[in-house]
Structure 1
Amino acid sequence: MQDPVASPKVTTVDHPLVQHKLTLMRDRDTALPEFRRLLREISLLLAYEVTRHLELKTVSVETPVARADLPLLARPEPCFITILRAGNGLLDGMLDLIPAASVGHLGLYRDPATLEAVEYYYKVPGDMGERLAIVVDPMLATGHTAVAALDRLKKDGAKDISFVCLVAAPEGIEALTEAHPDIPIYTAAVDERLNEKGYIVPGLGDAGDRIFGTK
């Protein structure tokens, strides 16, 4: 059986700036404003990687020197699907890169007893079958939330989907890959394991609490 972490569908973005910024984010002493700034910067770098294969079209442009046929993003633009609430922290940097992208919201919380995902909100564009859907959530831990999000999007007709996170656990990658082997995963790091509470080790703590200052 193939190791899911070694799957060609899993891309670890090992750019030195990504790794540097992630290490600063992991530090428990990193203050809230700095954490948010780093998250915005690293999310832009992750978005650069996940959009590497966006479709282009050719348009005619008059430069100050001459007219030329040049590449431009084909429409429709991608849609970022944020898994509430922590996924919102990744949006600013990604929208800096693609300001015309649509944004969908999927409200899921993890039941503390079963660790299963429970949906409470869902709003996405009506043409998901025609767009690249980029699902964002800082942590891929058990994988239950990510799998539930992908199930929901596919039910709505989404066909071209990628999943982006800051940190992934091997258990989460295995669960997502088993449920959705067609979905590419982009992450800044694959950590060691989950602890008994379902947190990634070494991880960076509760991403939502650190983004929104709620703990």
Structure 2
Amino acid sequence: MKAERWEGVYSFEDSPFLMEILTELRDERTGPIAFRKGLVKLGRYMAYELTKTMETEKVPVKTPLEETEGVIVRDRRNVVIITVLRAAIPLMEGLIKVLDHARVGIVSASRGKAPKFEIEMNYVKIPEIRPEDTVIVADPMIATGSTLIKVLDEVKRYGKPKRLVVVGVLAAPEGIERIKSRHPEVEVFVAKVDRELNDKGYILPGLGDAGDRAFGAPVKLQ
């Protein structure tokens, strides 16, 4: 479902199954194992939705009975997934279940405290990006947009892809606005666009810190 406020931004509030997974992720009682499994499920679903927008090709195929026409998703063979550590690891696991030809890059980036939200990038390992590639940057929470802007700046140093896509779970309007102002060509796929950010840069109503919840290191957000 296209988000009418922005060009190239898609959310999936019309999917009851995906909203059920999101509900479990939001619930403060959901533990790390269930949280990670939910991120994997969402990644797989988002990859499936993304293939609907990819270039396909009709090909002949011979069944045991006769020859007929089949389809291959050509773009699925040219994918690079950039995983933003650490929260995006389970999300990437889901994406790669569908996009199994993908080459994978890793970026370690962390956002500092309010009000500056300075971004520290400690580790970058990105494969060469080719003109035929669809590059997917996986990051569950698009909050202020600061981390993703820095990651997207870095990704562009490795080549110019056919498409540059951000896949996440939740986004704040403020984050989308910042990303689109800096990288207008970037497409954004999220389960839902939430209401706003609080003064600490957390998405509301949100689901807390995705990395802490996925890997069992909860922090007090209030």
Q: Scaled by the length of structure 2, what TM-score is found?
A: 0.88
Structure 1 210/144 Cα, relative in aligned 2: closer, same or farther at 3 Å?
A: same
2:12 touches 2:191 (CA, 8 Å); kept in 1?
A: yes
Give the fraction of aligned pairs with identical amino acids, expressed as a percent. 37
Structure 1 153/128 Cα, relative in aligned 2: closer, same or farther at 3 Å?
A: farther
**1:80, CA displacement in angstroms?**
1.2
Which residue number in structure 1 is paired with residue 87 of structure 2?
A: 86
- Tell me the alpha carbon deviations over residues 31-83 of structure 1, each in whole angstroms, 9 at most, x when there is no partner: 22211222211211111122322222344322111223422232643111111
1:32 touches 1:210 (CA, 8 Å); kept in 2?
A: yes
Q: Which amino acid aligns with 2:174?
A: E
Q: Is the deviation greater in 69-78 or in 103-112? A: 69-78
Which residue number in structure 2 is paired with residue 194 of structure 1?
A: 197
Which residue number in structure 2 is paired with residue 17 of structure 1?
A: 17
- SS across alignment from 1:130: coil
- Tell me, in whole angstroms, the C-alpha distance in 1 between the residues paired with 2:129 and 2:36: 31
One of 150, 165, 171 as aligned partner of 2:174: 171
- Tell me, in whole angstroms, the C-alpha distance in 2 between the residues paired with 1:47 and 1:99: 10
Structure 1 23/52 Cα, relative in aligned 2: closer, same or farther at 3 Å?
A: same
**1:177, CA displacement in angstroms?**
0.9
5+ residue gaps in structure 1? none
After TM superposition, what 4+ stretches of structure 1 lie above 3 angstroms from structure 2? 57-60
- SS across alignment from 1:42: helix
- Tell me, in whole angstroms, the C-alpha distance in 2 between the residues paired with 1:129 and 1:77: 10
**Paired residues for 1:58-207 under 5 Å:** 58-74=58-74, 76-112=77-113, 114-159=116-161, 160-207=163-210
Q: Is the deviation greater in 17-26 or in 31-40? A: 31-40
- Tell me, in whole angstroms, the C-alpha distance in 2 between the residues paired with 1:188 and 1:166: 5
1:24 touches 1:30 (CA, 8 Å); kept in 2?
A: yes
Higher relative contact order (CA 8 A, sep 6+): 1
